[in-house]
Amino acid sequence: MHCAAEAHMVALLKSDPAPQNNSDISANTMRLRKEVIVPDQKDFQPSTLVIHSNRVYENQSNSILFPIHQTATYIHESVGVTKGYGYSRGANPTVNALEQAIAAVEGTETALCFRSGMAAISTLCLALLKAGDHVVLPDVLYGGTSRLFHQVLGNFRIEYSFVDTADVDAVEQSLQPNTRLIFIETPANPTMKLADVKALADLAHSRESILLAVDNTFLTPLLQNCLDLGADISMLSTTKYIDGHNATIGGSLATHNATLVERLRLVRKTLGTIQAPFDSWLALQGIKTLPARLAMHCAHAGEIAVWLENHPKVARVYYPGLDSFPQKALAEKQQKGFGGMLAFELDADTEDSLRFIDALKLATCAESLGSVETLITNPATASHCDLTPEVRARLGITDRLIRLSVGLEAPKDLIADFEQAFAVVFGVEV
């Protein structure tokens, strides 16, 4: 390119694009710009922070929504000089915006976002563990996490034990000199079994170099703040309540430990497990309504749990808010709400239980949870299909168990749907 033309190109590239069709532009720029409040965690409640945590005006148009930085790489202003972003496998502004919103609800400085909940758990394990280390896992946990240990990490000589994490003494007895991590899930998928986060954090910290990580996907930090309860790491599948609309797959990790954050960043960059910009942007819109959605999920699930429990064709309901739930006191101690998830068994065999799911018209048979739509699954054939029938039976994950993620539809309409499904399977007189 000719030198003058090249200089012109460079000047063009460096200047902001001219605003179009805006005759008021000079008048606008003359006016005093309103001060932008960039909220600080100390000054605002989580419900405010999730909406305003990224409150910086995008400098080309002042768009109210944080922009999607859909880019692989970033221009160096001169060799080695960047604005802090080098390559989107390491960091991206839109991913960062979601990370700030998640950090706000976790009540910590930094959260990191991942391509999926499983990418978050995998990155955590690869960041913390080496061959010969031992991990304590709950006996009831999401099938994908047990598959990660059984079929992947076990091949790298990572040792693990499945323990009843509701029993703190059993966890203590399972600790070994090489235990590095206690990884719990509470409430556990799918039976809603709880683990005492504070008691297990105290146990982990009574030993040298054991960390406690909690998969808090079912509740989110707004209903159970695991870092406040003493856990070292809070993990979320953001696919669920954070996004809330079944639009994305994602995961997050949060911790107060700055050294661990740097280690996780390094391993995430190395593995390439970072969340994608567009998915982060979608989840960033979802998280703004998280407090409002959670309040509705809790109210609707509570109403439906009571209705199911009183139904003559329902044998058992697992919901921490019910008086019949054996760990209700623990839920009241460590949770700020009982959540939107429940499980139940019909007073029927597996075949009729599956026919009941098929007969539903509004509640939708689909994997995943935590969205505005009510989703229903049979864990034995879906999330926990990798476990043997004997193991499932021992853990209470019976073949007829039904898991329900209560959405935001009117409970009256959901109950009418259940009633018509009962009528289809058992006859109108039920």
Ligand X SMILES: Cc1ncc(COP(=O)(O)O)c(C=O)c1O
Among the listed residues 66, 142, 160, 281, the single contact to ligand X using CB under 6 A:
142
Closest CB 375 distance from ligand X, rounded Å: 11
Asked whether 366 and 383 are in contact (CB, 8 A), the reply is: no
Q: Which one from 89, 288, 313, 316 is the annotated catalytic residue?
A: 89
Q: Which one from 196, 215, 232, 279 is the annotated catalytic residue?
A: 215
Is 142 among the catalytic positions?
A: yes
Structure tokens at 126: 């690869």
Determine phi and psi for 162, rounding to 5 degrees. -95, 125
Nearer to ligand X, 119 or 129 (CB): 119
The full DSSP string for 227-275 is: TTTT-SEEEEETTTTTT-SS----EEEEES-HHHHHHHHHHHHHHT-BP
CA-based nearest residue to 308, from 319, 294, 297: 319
Is 215 among the catalytic positions?
A: yes
Neighbour-count burial of 26, counting CB atoms closer than 10 A to its CB (0-12 exposed, 13-18 middle, 19+ buried): exposed
Closest CB 129 distance from ligand X, rounded Å: 18
Please, what is the Cα angle at 243 between 52 and 42, to 5 degrees? Answer: 30
Q: Which one from 115, 180, 193, 240 is the annotated catalytic residue?
A: 240
Nearer to ligand X, 335 or 348 (CB): 335
Task: Return the range that interacts with ligand X (CB under 6 A); candidates 114-122, 196-204, 253-261, 343-351.
Answer: 114-122
Closest CB 127 distance from ligand X, rounded Å: 17
Asked whether 330 and 194 are in contact (CB, 8 A), the reply is: yes
Nearer to ligand X, 67 or 396 (CB): 396
Nearer to ligand X, 114 or 356 (CB): 114
Angle between the 258-271 and 117-128 helix axes, to the nearest 10 degrees? 110
Q: Give just the sign of the alpha carbon dihedral 43, 47, 52, 54.
A: positive
Asked whether 156 and 201 are in contact (CB, 8 A), the reply is: no
In eight-state DSSP terms, residue 379 is: G
Task: Return the range that interacts with ligand X (CB under 6 A); candidates 113-121, 202-210, 276-284, 322-330.
Answer: 113-121
Nearer to ligand X, 240 or 293 (CB): 240
Asked whether 344 and 308 are in contact (CB, 8 A), the reply is: yes
Among the listed residues 68, 118, 227, 406, the single contact to ligand X using CB under 6 A:
118
- By the rule CB under 6 A, 144 interacts with ligand X: yes
- Closest residue to ligand X using C-beta atoms: 117
Paired strand residues for 346: 314
- By the rule CB under 6 A, 189 interacts with ligand X: yes
- By the rule CB under 6 A, 116 interacts with ligand X: yes
Closest CB 349 distance from ligand X, rounded Å: 27
Among the listed residues 94, 122, 224, 237, the single contact to ligand X using CB under 6 A:
237
Structure tokens at 180: 């590095």
Question: Rounded to an integer, what is the distance from CA 428 to the centroid of its chain?
Answer: 40
Instruction: Print the binding letters for residues 147-166 with ligand X: x by CB under 6 A, - otherwise.
Output: --------------------
Is 24 among the catalytic positions?
A: no
Among the listed residues 249, 341, 346, 408, the single contact to ligand X using CB under 6 A:
249
| Total residues interacting with ligand X, rule: CB under 6 A | 14
Asked whether 237 and 122 are in contact (CB, 8 A), the reply is: no
Task: Please report, as a single letter, which amino acid is at residue 410.
Answer: A
In eight-state DSSP terms, residue 152 is: I
Is 412 among the catalytic positions?
A: no
Q: Which one from 115, 133, 139, 142 is the annotated catalytic residue?
A: 142
Task: Return the range that interacts with ligand X (CB under 6 A); candidates 64-72, 111-119, 287-295, 347-355.
Answer: 111-119
Where does this chain bind ligand X (CB under 6 A)? 116-118, 142, 144, 185, 189, 215, 217, 237, 239, 249, 251, 368
Residues marked as catalytic: 89, 142, 215, 240
